[in-house]
Structure 1
Amino acid sequence: MSESDDDADAGSGTGDGDWSLPNDHESVREALIAWYEDGHREFPWRRTDDPYEILVSEVMSQQTQLDRVVEAWEGFLERWPTTAALADADRADVVGFWTDHSLGYNNRAKYLHEAAGQVENEYDGEFPTAPDELQELMGVGPYTANAVASFAFNNGDAVVDTNVKRVAYRAFSIPDDDAAFEAAASELMPDGESRVWNNAIMELGGVACTQTPKCDEVGCPWREWCDAYASGDFTAPDVPTQPSFEGSRRQFRGRVIGTLREYDELELDTLGHRIRVDYAPDGEYGREWLTGLLEDLESDGLVDLETGEDGALVARLRR
């Protein structure tokens, strides 16, 4: 970022009115980076610049609390330490690991397996380094691609996640508008420092500027510039809540995969009774419900459905 950028107000034309960041960008940056480097949460993926290891952490973190991800991440990499090892793995084993560790939607495991194959077969075992190129990998969207580019190659743009939006909204009164958040985050991030900066600002939102802020408790480095700290108004944009896992389709998708891993194939009603105690063939959670669930899993390439000799639908884990 040029010196003239530091002196300019940001935010004109976002659609939500003008806004500006503090004039002293450099002090704002230095304060945050110093706070982060002085003592942040120690996650093992923050100690590596291996793009494969970082990709695994990013995919696992999409639906799982970070403290729970650590054990799963370490176990996954112990079993499949490289993209070559993962690409050679049986996909059912990868999906089974995902299910056993309650890591959310099983298709994320499938996509990770396929992405490893792409790296090996299309990129000669070397990860692409730019966010746009990383998006060519299966299941890797803009956010994940940018995170991998930032943390593995120090080559990313400013990350804008829920935590970053909350920080920007409170600290600098950035309007609740995606374009404004993107512009503010880009303006703040120092050139060539996406690795430390994106880690630091997400850490700020994760431990200091939480839904119930802990400004003084954790020594927030932006208190002297923060509008919310000055006014005492810590409202923030509404954040959708994660739907409950208990009783969700995600939970029963996982149970289906886990059961078929054990029995390989089962008729519809037999499978239904094994995955939920209230299964009733003609009930609310019966054949129609289970068939829909299995068809989704078939579309994701995780199971095969066929009609048995007696006319009953049979589900089989795809290998």
Structure 2
Amino acid sequence: MTDTEAAQSSSLPDDCESVRDALIAWYEDDHRDFPWRRTDDPYEILVSEVMSQQTQLGRVVEAWEEFLERWPSTADLEAADRADVVGFWTGHSLGYNNRAKYLHEAAAQVETEYGGTFPETPDELQELMGVGPYTANAVASFAFNNGDAVVDTNVKRVLYRAFDVPDDDAAFEEVATDLMPDGRSRVWNNAIMELGGVACEQTPSCDEAGCPWREWCSAYASGDFTAPDVPTQPSFEGSRRQFRGRIISTLKEYDELELDTLGHRIRVDYTPDGEFGREWLRGLLSDLADDELVEFDGDGADTVARLRR
């Protein structure tokens, strides 16, 4: 089956305009009030998108507000010490530290390459460090109303259930694009992601959330709410990501630390020759060095680590 045939095998209703109007009206009547939905500042929206990649939205609000209070513009973020930005990221458990580094570098690009003015199209936004297709499209949509249809896990679940779209990325993209009204990417992408986030979750709340698509939804009619598998987020507790964060936090307190001293400070069961010993710790330091966050030299117990400035 070709991509087009896969999309055509879905069951979009003939009156797509009514489908669009119903969703937008539902969203505009009542939706979760996140602060980044009240702004069209591309910098503020980029920060929210990067923070949201591995963190529940409810937890992002405080971090987002504190981050923007500390660095309210790309100029402020560019001028910041990268170690401070990474330290903020780690302190708020916002996921991989390299995202903080990329955000810092993207701010510098906006200032030096774009004269402090954000690019506005998805293709142009992808030129910024660490900004992939999804994030670029989200910023273009929510800041400039100039994006394509967003297709994330929630949107796929909605389209799969409501309109029998096959579990095929190209089919999801095509149907999402067909559904989105011209020139309304800001409200549409917010609305369809909200639908997946509050009404069409893995366990749906169709009636409780007043889903606006119940009259057209195949799953609602049949009672079959199966959907494509949703990847589960690996546990943070005890993960390499957690200990990379601890390394950054610890090195911020000291000019440099020897390997074993650092090991004992980040893990109570650290033993130089054990499972969580020098080899394990050097692996973490190598990951952070690849991300240009730390540097270290020496061999064995004589290894010394420090934050990269």
The alignment's TM-score, normalised by the length of structure 1, stands at 0.94
CA distance in 2: counterparts of 1:168 and 1:117, whole angstroms:
38
One of 135, 157, 176 as aligned partner of 1:144: 135
Contact 2:263 2:270 in 1 (8 A): yes
Shift of 1:306: 1.4
Q: 1:3 maps to which residue?
A: none
Question: Cα–Cα, structure 1 residues 182 and 137, in superposed 2: closer, same or farther, change >3 Å?
Answer: same
Which whole-Å deviations, capped at 9, do the CAs of 1:144-202 have from their partners, x for residues lacking one? 00000000000000000000000000000100000010011000000000000000000
One of 113, 127, 139 as aligned partner of 1:122: 113
Q: 1:302 maps to which residue?
A: 293
Q: 1:25 maps to which residue?
A: 16
Which whole-Å deviations, capped at 9, do the CAs of 1:72-110 have from their partners, x for residues lacking one? 000000000000000000000000000010000000000
Is 1:40 matched with 2:31? yes
Contact 1:12 1:19 in 2 (8 A): no
Is 1:198 matched with 2:195? no
Q: Over aligned residue pairs, what C-alpha RMSD do you find?
A: 1.4
Contact 2:9 2:166 in 1 (8 A): no
The alignment's TM-score, normalised by the length of structure 2, stands at 0.97
Structure 1 ranges of 4+ moved more than 4 A: 14-17
Q: 1:223 maps to which residue?
A: 214
One of 55, 60, 82 as aligned partner of 1:69: 60
CA distance in 1: counterparts of 2:266 and 2:238, whole angstroms:
11
Contact 1:14 1:179 in 2 (8 A): no
Q: 1:154 maps to which residue?
A: 145
Is 1:284 matched with 2:275? yes
Identity rate, percent:
81
For residues 59-138 of structure 1, the aligned pairs below 5 Å read 59-138=50-129
Shift of 1:243: 0.3
Q: 2:306 maps to which residue?
A: 316
Which whole-Å deviations, capped at 9, do the CAs of 1:256-309 have from their partners, x for residues lacking one? 00000112311111101110111111111111011010011001010011128x
Shift of 1:20: 3.5
CA distance in 2: counterparts of 1:198 and 1:315, whole angstroms:
45
Which segments of 5 or more consecutive residues in structure 2 lack a partner in the other structure?
none
Question: How many aligned positions are there?
Answer: 308
Contact 1:99 1:106 in 2 (8 A): yes
Contact 1:72 1:101 in 2 (8 A): yes
Q: Is the partner of 1:138 in helix, strand or coil?
A: coil
CA distance in 1: counterparts of 2:206 and 2:107, whole angstroms:
41
CA distance in 1: counterparts of 2:224 and 2:255, whole angstroms:
56
Which whole-Å deviations, capped at 9, do the CAs of 1:208-252 have from their partners, x for residues lacking one? 000110000010000000000000000010011000000101100
Q: 1:6 maps to which residue?
A: none
CA distance in 1: counterparts of 2:10 and 2:195, whole angstroms:
22
CA distance in 1: counterparts of 2:36 and 2:8, whole angstroms:
39
CA distance in 1: counterparts of 2:301 and 2:282, whole angstroms:
14
Contact 1:268 1:315 in 2 (8 A): yes
One of 192, 200, 209 as aligned partner of 1:209: 200
Which segments of 5 or more consecutive residues in structure 1 lack a partner in the other structure?
1-10
